[in-house]
């Protein structure tokens, strides 16, 4: 069971990385990356509009 759960988590991580790269979202520290991934997860899983707005700050032009 744990292995299946870990595989699902790895796939979510991969999707998050692809989404952040596609939207050209950058971070400057490990802590910032953790916060961005947390926000992105909220958007992806819960459809959280407030988290999506917070992510806009990290987009590069």
pLDDT per residue as tens digits for the range 33-51: 888 888 888 887 788 888 8
Instruction: Give 57: exposed, middle or buried? Use CB within 10 Å, 0-12, 13-18, 19+.
Output: exposed
Domain spans of the chain, in order of start:
2-56
Tell me, what's the pLDDT at 26? 81
9-33 as b/e: b if 16+ CB within 10 A? eeeeeeebeeebeeeebeeeeeeee
Tell me, what's the pLDDT at 1? 56
pLDDT at residue 2 tops 70: no
6-15, 23-32, 45-54: which range is least confident on average? 6-15
Question: What is the C-alpha separation between 2 and 58, in angstroms, rounded?
Answer: 33
Mean pLDDT (whole number) for 46-61 = 80
Tell me, what's the pLDDT at 11? 82
């Amino acid at each position: 069971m744990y292995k299946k759960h870990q595989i699902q988590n790895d796939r979510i991580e991969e999707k998050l990385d692809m989404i952040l790269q596609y939207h050209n979202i950058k971070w400057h520290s490990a802590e910032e990356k953790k916060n961005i991934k947390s926000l992105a997860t909220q958007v992806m899983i819960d459809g959280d509009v407030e988290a999506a707005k917070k992510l806009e700050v990290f987009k590069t032009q």
